[in-house]
Structure 1
Amino acid sequence: MEKLTILPPGHPLSGHVAPPGSKSITNRALLLAGLAKGTSRLTGALKSDDTRYMAEALRAMGVTVEEPDATTFVVTGSGQLKAPSKPLFLGNAGTATRFLTAAVASVNGTVVVDGDEHMRKRPIGPLVAALKSLGIDAEAPTGCPPVTVKGNGHFAYGRVEIDAGLSSQYVSALLMAAPLAPQGANAPVTVALTGTEIGARGYVDLTLDAMRAFGAKVEQLDNATWRVEPTGYTAVDFHIEPDASAATYLWGAEVLTGGQIDIGTPARDFTQPDAKAYDVIAAFPHMPAVIDGSQMQDAIPTIAVLAAFNETPVRFVGIANLRVKECDRIRAVSTGLNNIREGLATEEGDDLIVSSDPALAGQTLPAEIDTFADHRIAMSFALAGLKIGGITILDPKCVGKTYPGYWDALGSLGVAYQQ
């Protein structure tokens, strides 16, 4: 297994780093452009493992996806996806897997949506149950991928209820597929939550904004119900903002080292939920005693590593969904922190408690961090290595899932490594 040991820079990190485009928005825009009739140009896009899987899946279903430069996709679709010749393999890309599971119901034929060993452990049962309730032939025998969907050329119309407690991606998947219902039926699709609880509601807002940009008509009836007209999608030029989750590592590096890192976009200009983490990170080393991570889930590993150096202990609540991400992130963060020093982190149910100690900074505490092939664990624990000697990240290339240039970005700020 490859390893990367971070050498504490011993000075404030300052400079300019442009984070990559938003993964969440890129995969939404790619799918909607692939479902649209005509040619769309997506600029500012992220090129990473997750978006590559989405682009390859669209190509396998008859969509032309060109990449004229490092941050642009040019997508040409007919308005109708075709059945692929083999299963769609999506690695461990949660957005691609969930979104496509619903979208391929509009294909005339059978589609198998599958992923790697990690994806095959991530739940998709609630989404499959919702599709079946609409009369769509969908099966996932294990409750996780692979999913087999037999489509009849369009999405179904009617009312569908979904339990979004595990993931807001289930809601986004149904919403984005809904405009593909038969236009002659003159019947909208109504998407309703079985309760008002939803993981990271802000991501549904991202979905709605992207849908409307591609011509969808969506009305929010109340806090838990949306009505979507069967309009299909129209090609459009669409710009993608930088990734807020990626920005959290740079915000963290800035406050941890007392530096000044210009990421090119003010925190207030982000529309992604993880941008909420900025105010929490900016409070370091006086972050609050209790942090609710329910609406900024991907930022929690970043903040939890920072919390190790906070002036006072921090309890993270509202983070149960982190157990069903690319890995069990609560356990992964707890394990990593306790590898640095036993007792640094404690799990109480689905809460994570970090026993902060500013005196950790400047010490040498050799520790190998198991990333569990999770990009966010690797990038978060890199922050610990900025202040503690001997921090070694296992499988450092896993950052390619969302931020292939991460190690180079830190290097450009003066961070050195030992391999």
Structure 2
Amino acid sequence: MSAPSRGDAVRVIPPGRPLGGRTTLPGSKSITNRALLLAALAPGVSRLSGALKSDDTRYMAQALQAMGVTVEEPDAERFTVRSDGRLRAAAAPLFLGNAGTATRFLTAACALADGEVVIDGDAHMRRRPIAPLLTALAALGVQAEAPTGCPPVTIQGRGGLEGGRVQIDAGLSSQYVSAVLMLAGRAEGPVELTLRGSDIGARGYVELTLAAMRHFGAEVDALSPSAWRVSPTGYRAVDLEIEPDASAATYFWAAGALTGGEVDVGLSPDAFSQPDAKAHALIAAFPHMPAEIEGSQMQDAVPTLAVLAAFNATPVRFIGVANLRVKECDRLAALATELSRVRPGLAIEDGDDLVIASDPALPSPEAPVRLATYADHRMAMSLALLGLKLDNIVIDDPACVAKTFPGYWDALRGLGVELA
């Protein structure tokens, strides 16, 4: 079967046996897009190996090229970035699809461009909020406008950043913090960044950003758990080996748990630096997952855990997951809707919580059920796991996985899962 195209559907056939063997994960999207940007801001040549090649990283690479950075792809897992450390004003708007990392990170970085830059995305991205980031940038003297509070964004680049102090509201996304931190590494003076309030979406991703910045030569001091000082060191070109994607690993850990097998993803759970790897402990507890799961620090793993919870011995409530409403789609509403297509009431929204009415003996639908994916890669990959236990599960628009994991369906086939 060839790779599915947009508009196709895939039926997952229950394997009827424990899944085992080894699968190869793609590189981390989160680390790849951070590394691409930092390499572009570092004079010299940086070589990124183990990198993800997907829609999201391709949008980032193309945008950097449009701003005068040379990005080469020697093979399927490497980028070579050649830069003089400068960003030029792009001749046309930068289209970034629904790539949240690329959109937020470049919105900040374009303050360093030598003129106006417009950043835009698809219809989904035009509904994803960016106003808190623009408010933070304004405090640093960066002029950027988004009339709707979402992309498109127009940034008036001035070729540099003086430095200063800024408070940032990270309640909706940690990417706002990461975007300003990476920009701060190129400021002419020190930048002190403080969180406004204690809420921050997925703090572990800020740690990923800090680790990447330090690898590229930045000096960042933590003043407190909610404040950082970035010194005006700039960045230096370096090579980086990118670890596999932990969010992708959750699908295969769950596939093993659902079928009574075990899938080797090539890296032990405690070896990942990405926060979604914390989901492994919850997956390992299946079918006795806890009654309440706090998902704020492993947001991209929540769809995987929600599908697993459908077969748990007891009901599961997900809390701290309000931020899932502003991902590629409203994932709370989408999960509640699609899981309830399998059995009415299987999942419900309770405020900003998601409650799964677990059933270890959940029966297969009597007729094929086509589950919508909302053009959201994580919805497609997680909902497909239902088909490992239930017959008649059909996944709509399977090609949307190209956003972060183009080889997902081939990886399932490689474990012996039949797709029709």
Which of 251, 262, 265 is residue 263 of structure 1 equivalent to?
Answer: 265
Aligned counterparts, 1:12-411, within 5 A:
12-182=18-188, 187-360=189-362, 364=366, 366-411=368-413
Distance in 2, matches of 1:366 and 1:105, equals: 51
Identity of aligned residues (%): 66
Aligned length: 414
Can you list the C-alpha shifts for 1:185-206, whole angstroms capped at 9, x where unaligned?
A: xx30111111121000000000
Distance in structure 2 (CA, Å) of the matches to 1:364 and 1:283: 30
How far apart in 2 are the matches of 1:415 and 1:22? 24
Question: CA offset at residue 266 of structure 1?
Answer: 0.3
Aligned residues of 2:39 and 2:83 also touching (Cα < 8 A): yes
The answer to whether the 8 Å contact 2:365/2:390 transfers is yes
The one-letter code of the counterpart of 1:276 is K
Helix, strand or coil for the counterpart of 2:71? Answer: strand
Matched-pair contact (CA < 8 Å) for 1:176–1:211: yes
Give the Cα separation in 1 of the matches to 2:199 and 2:162: 25
| C-alpha distance 365-330 of structure 1, shift in aligned 2 (>3 A) | farther
Q: For residues 359 and 121 of structure 1, what CA distance do their matches in structure 2 show?
A: 38
> What's the TM-score, normalizing by structure 1?
0.98
Instruction: Give the match for residue 419 of structure 2.
Output: 417
SS in 2 for 1:163: strand
3-state SS, counterpart of residue 176 of structure 1: helix
* 8 Å CA contact 1:219, 1:228 repeated in 2: yes
SS at match of 1:195: strand
Alignment partners' CA distance in 2, 1:369 and 1:153: 47
- Deviation track 1:290-346 (CA, whole Å, cap 9, x = no partner) reads 000010000000000010000000000000000000000001111110010101011
Amino acid at match of 2:25: P
Q: In the aligned structure 1, how far is the partner of 2:366 from the partner of 2:290?
A: 27
How far apart, in 1, do the equivalents of 2:193 and 2:95 lie?
27
Letter of the structure 2 residue corresponding to residue 175 of structure 1: L
* Alignment partners' CA distance in 2, 1:320 and 1:156: 35
**Aligned equivalents of 1:171 and 1:362: distance in 2?**
44
Is the 1:309–1:361 Cα contact (8 Å) retained in structure 2? Answer: no
8 Å Cα contact 2:342/2:365 also seen in 1: no
Q: For residues 80 and 218 of structure 1, what CA distance do their matches in structure 2 show?
A: 21
- Of the candidates 12, 22, 27, which is equivalent to residue 6 of structure 1? 12
**What CA distance in whole angstroms lies between the structure 1 residues aligned with 2:302 and 2:139?**
34
Asked whether the 8 Å contact 1:364–1:388 carries over to 2, the reply is: no
Q: Distance in 2 between matches of 1:404 and 1:349?
A: 34
Deviation at 1:156, TM superposition (A): 3.5
Change (3 A) 1:364 1:251: farther
Partner Cα separation in structure 2 for residue 264 and residue 223 of structure 1? 32
SS of alignment partner, residue 231 of structure 1: coil
Shift of 1:280: 0.2
Q: 1:152 Cα deviation (Å)?
A: 1.0
The residue type paired with residue 180 of structure 2 is L
Partners of 1:369 and 1:392 within 8 A in 2: yes
Alpha-carbon distance between aligned partners in 2 of 1:135 and 1:77, rounded to the nearest angstrom: 25
Spell out, residue by residue over 1:237-265, the C-alpha distance to the aligned partner (whole angstroms, 9 max, x if none).
Answer: 00100000000000000000011211110
| Matched-pair contact (CA < 8 Å) for 1:90–1:113 | yes
The AA in structure 1 aligned to 2:96 is L
3-state secondary structure, aligned to 2:212: helix
CA distance in 2: counterparts of 1:139 and 1:44, whole angstroms:
36
The answer to whether the 8 A contact 2:364-2:392 is kept is no
1:125–1:143 CA contact under 8 A, matched in 2: yes
Q: Which moved more, 1:130-139 or 1:387-396?
A: 130-139
Match of 2:3 in 1: none
Q: C-alpha separation between the residues in 2 aligned to 1:219 and 1:273?
A: 21
Residue 363 (structure 1) shift: 6.0
C-alpha separation in 2, matches of 1:47 and 1:193 = 33
Partners of 1:112 and 1:14 in 2: CA distance: 47
Q: Is the contact between residue 365 and residue 392 of structure 2 (CA under 8 Å) also seen in structure 1?
A: no
- Structure 1 counterpart of 2:186, which letter? L
**Partners of 2:340 and 2:158 in 1: how far apart?**
52
Q: How far apart, in 1, do the equivalents of 2:74 and 2:157 lie?
A: 33
Q: Aligned-pair distance for 1:365? A: 5.5
In structure 2, give the amino acid aligned to 1:348.
Answer: D
Residue pair 1:136, 1:156 contacting (<8 A) in 2 also: no
Question: Distance in 1 between the 2:283 and 2:37 partners?
Answer: 33
* Aligned counterparts of 1:363 and 1:338: Cα–Cα separation in 2: 11
Q: State TM-score, norm by structure 2.
A: 0.97
Unpaired runs of 5+ in structure 2?
1-6
* Aligned AA (1:203): Y
